[in-house]
Structure 1
C-alpha cells in the first residue's frame, strides 16, 4: 500500500501548495479565498494530468509489440511498467522453454519405429510422425487439419475408427496388399484420439512361414506313420507268408528311416538357428572335407556314378567342421539321388580374384527348371514331390546348406538347365578362407581334417 500513500500525499501536497499560491495571487486582487480554491484545483488537476500522461505511456507500450523497454518513470507507473515487463519476459522465457520441450518430445516421437498420430474431436489430423504418414499414405504437412477418414480408404480401419470401440488393435493391409499394419486407438482429452500404428508385415510373414512349417512337418511325419500303422494292422490281422512278412518289415524299416532322417534334419536346423556363429579361428582342411563328402556320396551311390574331387589340397576354411561337412555332404547326396546311373558328379574348390573361394558340386542330372531355382532353399520345397520322397529326401537338405553358408559369412548359388545338369556353389568370403603355407606341419593338416 506504500504506492497509494505516496500518491495521496503527493496530491495533498500539491493541493496545499496550490491553495497557498492561489491565495497569494488572489490576495493581490482582494480575492484570496477564491484564488486559494482555484490554485488548489489547478494543482490537483496538474497532478492528475501528469499521472494520466504516464499511464498513457504505459498503456501505449502494452498495446504495442513490447519490443522495447517499458517506460522507466519513477513512482507508481514506473513500478507498474517494471512489473509488467518482468512478467512478460518471464512468460516469453516459459514459452520458449515449452517450445523446446515440445520440439524435443516431437523429435523423440519422430524417431520412434512406430507410427504416432494425433486426431482432434472431429478426427482431423493434428500431427503425425513420418512413420505414421508412411503407414497411412499421408503427407505430414499437406494433410494436416484434414479428416483422416477422407484420406484412408481401408473399410476395416474406417469402421474401427467410427465405431469407437478401441479395446483391441485392428490389422489391415495397404492398397497393394504388400504390407500389413496393426493399429491401436487410445482416446484422450476432450474427444481427441491417439492413433498408434505398427508395421507387422515381417511378423505376419514369419507367422505364416511358421504355420506352413508346422503343417509341412505334420504332413511329412503323418505319411510314414500312416504307412507304418497300416503295415502293423496288416501283420496283426492277416496271416502272412514269410516272403510277405519280410517285404512288409522292409517297407516298415524304410518308413522308419525316413522319419529318423526327417527328425535329424529338423534337429540340425534348430541347432543352426539357435546357436552362435562358428568361430573364425578354427581352420578346417578343404581337402579332407571334400574327401569325406565324396566317400559319403560314394556309399550312397554304390558305384552307380563317377564321383571326382578337384582342388583344395592347400586350402582351409575357418568354421565348424561338422556344419561344413553337413552342407557339402547334403549337396553331394542330392546329386547322387537325382543323377541317373552312369552320370558324373564333381566336387571342386576354386579361388576367386577377390581372395574368397567356392566349393562347387556339379552333376549331369536332369537339371532344374528356372522357375524353381529361387525357392530351392525353402523348407520342404520340392521340384517334384513324389520323386523327392522316392529318393529318400526330407526337403530340408538345401535349407540346411543355406544356413551353414550364411553362418560362415557366405551364400549358396544355384545354376541349372533342364537336360544339362546342375551346379550348386558355396561361396565363402576372403576372411573365412586361407591358403596353407608350404612349411605348415602335416599334423596340423590332419587335425584340421578330423576336427
Structure 2
C-alpha cells in the first residue's frame, strides 16, 4: 500500500533543506580551497626540483675541482674542507662498498661513520652515474639536499656526493605551509558559519510555509501564512495564502453540496445506496435503511464503510450490485426483504464509472409491497368475478341458442334480439375465458411439467378450427417449420394459446385474399423462434409500444366488430415471459405485421414430421 506523505511529520536531519544547503555551501568552499593547496604542493615540488638542479651543477663543479686530487687523500681532505668553508657545502667520498673515505662535516677519523652504501643517492649514482635526494641526514641530524656523481678513486669506482643544508628552505616552506593551512582553516570556519547562517535564513521561511501546509492538510484553514521578505519565496507565500482561501471556499462549497445532497436523499421516497468497487457502503439515505429494515439497528453514519451484504443481509441485492460492478452494465431485479416487515422491492443498479473504470455502483430501491398486494387483490377479484360470471353467461347463451333453434313462431324483432343476445353472450364468454387465462398465468405462471408439443400438428389443428373464416376471406396460409423445430418441449397450454391467439389475430385483421405465414426455427444458441406474419392493414408506429397492454385496442370500433377482447396479446406476452422468453412485433401501416416469439433454450426434440398444412 502506498504511504501518504504527512507534511507535519519531522524529517531526519540529513533530509532537511537547511543542512543540505549548508553541506552544499561547505562543499563549494572546500572546492574553492583546493586550488591553493594544489598550487602550494606544486610550488614545493618546483622548489625541490630547482634546488636539485642547482645542486647538480655544484656537484659537477666540485667534481672537476677535486678530480686532480683523488689520488692524494690528504690533499683531497684539505680541498674538501676548503670548499666547505667557501661554499658551505658538505662533500662526501664513498667507495663502492659504502665506506666513507672523506666527509667535510665529520671531524676526526671517518672510519666510525656508518656505511653509506644504502643511501638512495649513492645507490642511484653507482647504478646510473648520478643520483639525487632530499632527506634527513642521520649522520649530522638535519635535512640536506644531495646530488651524487660516480668517479674513479685509485682505479675503483666511487661516489662523490655534494650536499646543501635544506633546513632554512624547509623551515620557510613549513612556515608558508602552516600559514596557508591556518588561512584555509579560518576561511573554512568563517565560510561554514556564513553558510549556516545563510542556509537558516533561506530555509526559515520555507519551514514556516511547511508548517502552514501541515495545518492546511489537517483542515485548519484559519492558519496565518508568515511574512516572507524575499522575492520568490514571497510569491510562494502569496500563492499559499490564495490556496488557503480557495481550499476554504471549496470545502465550504463541498459541505454545502453534501448537506444539500443529504437533504435531497432524505426527502426521497426511494432508497439510494452508493457503494465502492469493493461493495463497501459510501452513502445510504434514510429511506434505504427503512426499506431494508435496518433503521432501528444502524444510522446513516454507522453503515458507511460496511460491506453491502453486512448491511442488507440479502444475497440477491448483493449479487445484483456485484454483477453491475463486474460487468459495468445496469441491472434490475425484484427482491424480497424479510428483516422486520416483509417487503417486495424493485432494485435498480447502475455503475459508477470514472475514465472507463468501474469505481462502484448506485443502487436504487423502490417499494413494490403495496402495488403487489393490490395486484393480488385485483387478480383475485378478476378470477372470482370471472368464475361467478361463467355460469349465468353460459345459461343466457344456452337459452338464447335454444329459443333460436326451436321451431317457434317468434316475431321477427324477437328473433333478431335473441340472436344478438346469443352473440353478446358468446363475446362475454370469450372475455371471461381470457380473464381467467390472464389471472391464471399471472398467479401461477406456466406448468412445471413439460410436454412434447408438435408445432406443425398444433398449427394444423388451429387452422382447422379457423377454416371457415380462412376460406370465407380467401386467405393463403403457409406453414414453414424446420425439422429441428418440429417438436418443442414446453408447457403445452401456453404454446397452444400463443399459436391460436396469433393466428386468430392474423385471420381477423388481414383483408380478404391476404397472405398469412407461420414459421418456426431453432437458432444455433438453442433459442426457439416462432413467427406469424401477415400482409394485412399493419399497425401505426405510435401504437407499437402499447400493443401488448391489456384492453389496449388500436381501433376500438373495428376490434368490437371482429370480436376482440383486448386481452389476447397481453396473455401471449405473459405466457412468453413466464417461459423465460420474449414476444415482439414489427409492423408498418399498410404493410402487414410480424409477431415473433423467442423461447431461450427451449430444448426442442426432433420427431417425425407431419405433412404440411
The TM-score with structure 1 as length reference comes to: 0.47
Identify the structure with bigger relative contact order (alpha carbons < 8 Å, sequence gap 6+): 1
Bigger Cα Rg: 2
The TM-score with structure 2 as length reference comes to: 0.36
